[in-house]
Amino acid sequence: MPEIAQRPKALLHDHLDGGLRPSTILDIADDIGHELPSTDETQLADWFVRGANTLDIHQYLATFEHTIAVMQSADHLHRVAREAVVDLADDRVAYAEVRFAPENHVHNGLSLDDVMEAVQDGFRAGMSAVSANDSTGATSNTGAANKNTAAPIVINTIVSAMRQADHSTEIAQLTVDWQARDSRVVAFDLAGPETGFPPTAHVEALDIARRNHLPITLHASEPPGLELISQALATGADRIGHGIRLYDDITANESGELVLGPLAQHILDQQVHLEMAPSCHVHVGAVPDISAHPVMKWHRAGFNVGVNTDNRLMSNVTVTSEMGQLVEHFDMTLAEMEALTVAAVHAGFGSWTERQHLIADVIRPGYAS
C-alpha cells in the first residue's frame, strides 16, 4: 500500500456529502444541536460504515441524513469543502471532480447561490492551503496527519440535481450560470435513487445542459441497469456514473473471451468513460464482493474505466485503498494503475490544457521512478 499511496491519482466520482470527517460531523452537530447515532468519533465512523455494509441501498442512502444536516450554513459548507480538498490531496489525488446537490443545503435559509459560493470558496481555500503546504493539521478520514503531507491538487465541481425531486431544471440552469462565472464548475449530474426515477423524467434539465455545451454525467447503477445506462446515453451523458450493471450485456465464451451485447459494444467502441467505484458496488449489492468486480477485466478488454470512491465516509475508502484492493484481487500492475489514472484525467470535464499539463508534469513523472 505505501507504494500505491505515493503515486498520483485521479478521482471523477466523489460526493461531497459522502466524504466528511467524523470529527467534523461531531463538531458541527454539537454546534447546531443535531442528534447523532453516537458522540464517539470511532463509533460514529463505524455507524456510517455499518449502513453501507447492510448491502441495502436504502439503508446506505439513509446515512446521508446526518451529513446533510451538518451542511446547512455557509461556514459549515466552506469547512466541509476545504477539508475534502485537503483529505484528497493527502491521498495524493492530483485531479478530482467532486459533486454535490445544492438543493440539499437550503433547509436553513441559504439560497442556491449562497450554497454554490460557500462550496466553491471552500474548494479554492483547500487548493490554496495545499499549494502553500499549509493545511489544517487536522486528521483526515484515513487517520493520517494532513499538515505538510498533501501534494498539489486540482479540484473541479460537478453540480447534481436530485432525480426524485422536481428541481432539476432550476439546478441545470444554476450550473450553466455558475459555469459562466467560475470555470471550476464543469458539469451537470443527476443523483439520488435511480430505480423509478429515470433520466427521461428530466429531459428539460438535460436539454438546458446540452444547449449550453455543459458536460453531463449521469448515475446508472441500479435496476433496470441496461435500460438506465442506455437512457443516460440517449439523453446526452458524456460519462456514466458507475455503469456496473453493464455486466448484463457481457458474457464470456468457452475461451474466456468477452462477448459483448450491442450496448456494451457501443460503450467500448465509443470509449464512453465508466466511473467505477468497486467498494460502493459491493455495498449497494451490485456485486457480491470485490473479487467479483469486473473493473480490471473490462479495463484489460479495452473499456474506458476509472477507479473512484463515491462516498469515502460510508464505504471507508480512499483512492489508495480502492487501488490496493485491485492489486490484491487482480494483480493490477503499476503500469495498469497509471493507465487507469491517465484514462480518468483524459475523461475529466475540466480545462483540456490543465489536464494535459497534469498528465505530462505530475502523473507520468509520478509513475516513472
Handedness of CA 252, 346, 276, 135 (dihedral sign): positive
Residue 260 lies in a domain: yes
Residues forming beta bridges with residue 162, ordered by sequence position:
191
CA–CA gap between residue 289 and residue 293 (Å, rounded) = 7
Cβ partners under 8 Å of residue 212, min gap 6: 176, 179
pLDDT for 246-290, tens place per residue? 999 999 999 989 999 999 999 999 999 999 999 999 998 999 999
Cβ partners under 8 Å of residue 49, min gap 6: 314, 315, 316
pLDDT for 69-78, tens place per residue? 999 999 999 9
Crossing angle of helices 319-330/334-346, nearest 10°? 130
Average pLDDT over residues 58-75: 92
Q: Given the DSSP bridges, would you call strands 239-242 and 258-260 parallel, antiparallel or unpaired?
A: unpaired
- What is the pLDDT confidence band of residue 166, given thresholds at 50, 70 and 90? very high
How far is residue 327 from each of residues 140, 290, 294, measured CA to CA in Å?
A: 24, 11, 14
- What is the pLDDT confidence band of residue 144, given thresholds at 50, 70 and 90? very low
Residue 362 · residue 92 · CB < 8 Å = no
User: Environment class of residue 312 by beta-carbon count within 10 Å: exposed (0-12), middle (13-18) or buried (19+)?
Assistant: buried
How far is residue 155 from each of residues 81, 82, 125, 235, measured CA to CA in Å?
A: 10, 11, 11, 26
Handedness of CA 50, 52, 58, 62 (dihedral sign): positive
Q: Given the DSSP bridges, would you call strands 9-15 and 93-100 parallel, antiparallel or unpaired?
A: parallel
- What is the pLDDT confidence band of residue 150, given thresholds at 50, 70 and 90? low
Average pLDDT over residues 151-175: 96
| pLDDT higher than 90, residue 118 | yes
pLDDT for 331-369, tens place per residue? 999 999 999 999 999 999 999 999 999 999 999 999 997
Q: What percent of the chain has pLDDT over 90?
A: 89
C-alpha cell at 2: 505505501
Handedness of CA 56, 107, 123, 215 (dihedral sign): positive
Residue 158 · residue 241 · CB < 8 Å = no
Residue 84 lies in a domain: yes
Pick 52 or 91 by higher pLDDT.
91
Whether 222 is a known active-site residue: answer yes
What range defines the domain where residue 172 resides?
2-357
Residue 87 lies in a domain: yes
The reported pLDDT for the residue numbered 77 is 98
| pLDDT higher than 90, residue 11 | yes
The reported pLDDT for the residue numbered 61 is 78
Residue 368 lies in a domain: no
Helix %, strand %, coil % of the chain (to 5): 55, 15, 30
pLDDT for 125-139, tens place per residue? 999 999 987 444 444
**CATH code where residue 160 lies:** 3.20.20.140
Nearest to 80 by CA among 100, 54, 106, 95: 100
CA–CA gap between residue 324 and residue 93 (Å, rounded) = 15
Residue from 97, 222, 322, 338 carrying the catalytic annotation: 222
The reported pLDDT for the residue numbered 369 is 75
pLDDT for 177-229, tens place per residue? 999 999 999 999 999 999 999 999 999 999 999 999 999 999 999 999 999 99
CA–CA gap between residue 313 and residue 89 (Å, rounded) = 16
The reported pLDDT for the residue numbered 1 is 65
Residue 367 lies in a domain: no
The reported pLDDT for the residue numbered 52 is 87
Residue 369 lies in a domain: no
The DSSP letter of residue 310 is B
The overall average pLDDT reported for the chain is 94
How far is residue 185 from each of residues 116, 117, 123, 210, measured CA to CA in Å?
A: 10, 11, 11, 15
Residue 362 lies in a domain: no
Within the chain, how many helices (H) and strands (E) appear?
18, 10
pLDDT for 236-249, tens place per residue? 999 999 999 999 99
Is residue 355 helix, strand or coil?
helix
Tell me how many domains the chain contains: 1
Residue 257 lies in a domain: yes
Pick 233 or 149 by higher pLDDT.
233
The reported pLDDT for the residue numbered 62 is 81
Residues shown for the chain: 369
| pLDDT higher than 90, residue 147 | no
